[in-house]
Amino acid sequence: MNPKLTAETFWQFSLDWYAQPGFEALALSLQDEYGVNINMLLLLCWCMKRRVMLTLPQWQTLAQAISKHEAELKEHRQVRREAKGSSRYQSLKDEELQLESAQQQCLVEVFNALPVATASQTAFNPSAAGFIHLFALRDHKTALDRLKQAINIR
């Protein structure tokens, strides 16, 4: 079975998950300290919750697909951070959310083209392992602890 995802349902899932107490701090620390893409982290959370299995090559395909979006987002994020306290800050933050949404749409399109499967309740889900390898987190205990907390926030 290849579970389908829509941009709207993923955006709503992301807003709900991001609003959980503690998730924002975990996600931002993984992003800022370890280079983790938060939209991909949210996709991992979605996959784990629904027992959807993604392999390392599939994570790599997703990362490659959003690489242009990611470069644009990083540049915009830096501009927004530098504008903190200025009159432009809120509009830059709103623009950043639009860029995040576009990146999510790209993730959804590529995800839906991948041949993915779901795990039984007792089966090992390789999604987290592939994600850990993609972002080279294996040797970073703090990152692994934060990732585990982020996945299990709900």
Confidence check: pLDDT of 122 > 70: no
Name the 3-class secondary structure at 85.
coil
Asked if residue 21 belongs to a domain, the reply is: yes
**pLDDT band for position 145 (50/70/90)?**
very high
Does 66 reside within a domain? yes
- Whether 2 is covered by a domain: the verdict is no
The structural domain count of the chain equals 1
pLDDT (tens digit, 9 = 90+) per residue, 41-73?
999 999 999 999 999 999 999 999 999 999 999
The whole-number pLDDT of residue 11 equals 96
What pLDDT does 125 receive? Answer: 82
Is residue 145 one of the residues assigned to a domain?
yes
Q: Which helix or strand (DSSP H or E) is residue 117 part of?
A: strand 117-118
Please give the pLDDT value at position 1. 52
Quote the domain boundaries for residue 113. Answer: 7-151
| Token pair listed for 22 | 């503690």
| Residue 132 · residue 30 · CB < 8 Å | no
Question: In the chain, which ranges are continuous DSSP H helix?
Answer: 7-18, 23-34, 38-50, 56-65, 67-82, 89-113, 127-134, 141-151
